[in-house]
Amino acid sequence: MQLVKPAGQRDAARKYDIITALGAYALARNKHDQRLVLRLITLMTARYNWARDELAVGQREIARLWAVDERTVKREMAKLRGLGWLVVKRQGARGRVTEYGLGLDRMLATTETEWPNVGPDFDLRMSGKPEENPVVPLPVKGHIPPPDVSDGTEWALAQAILFSEAPDVYGSWLRNLVRVDRAGGRLTLSAPSRFHGNYVQTHLNRKVLAACQSVDDDVTEIVIVA
């Protein structure tokens, strides 16, 4: 499988994806692995230069950032090199710190097992697999306003999430869905036409369900009626 890297190390969205993959991997491991990954994430967000693939920080500064002694820094950095997550680009010398790059291939290969835990969309995006049923946005005239969340329902809040993730898809297929009923974990939404409802049920049901579950864990099923 070909792993997708950040475009020129500068794609902001991919930075968050990489950090998310590391976090999901850590949360599925023991406390020692969690602490190691947390230290790496903190170091990356504070000092890693994504444009140059460069991490050039002295052990004393890392020790201060991690609130540990320099002996612990040496041990933890050796673990990260052993994992292949950090790669030495230029060895340190007198008056010059060691420069590292990220071993993204190894990092992503190691965390791959946890990608589905984040969500199927994340798994597809990270693995570079084509979406089986790609959603085609329809032409929408004018500006698409953000949804009104004043009523505080799970659907209103989920619409806000869906709008932020993909305004074109939201404007084409989701903004005209109306909350009809909630019975236990089943949320029923009304579509403006049978075709519209069938399309959402086929292509977007999983995305809609994920958005609803992110604001209300008790939602287990989405039903679209026309």
pLDDT digits (tens, 9 = 90+) for 69-87: 999 999 999 999 999 999 9
Q: Are 189 and 182 in contact (CB under 8 A)?
A: no
Verdict on whether the full-model pTM lies above 0.75? no
Residue 93 CB neighbours (<10 A): 8
- pLDDT value of position 4: 47
Bridge partner residues of 102 (DSSP): 86
> pLDDT under 70 in the chain at which residues?
1-13, 129-142
Q: What is the pLDDT of residue 199?
A: 86
Unique residue bearing structure tokens 């989405």: 222
The amino acid that residue 45 corresponds to is: T
Question: What integer pLDDT is reported at residue 56 of this predicted model?
Answer: 94
pLDDT tens for each residue of 10-28: 456 688 889 999 999 999 9
Note the pLDDT of residue 48. Answer: 94
Domains of the chain: 7-127 (1.10.10.10), 154-225 (3.30.300.180)
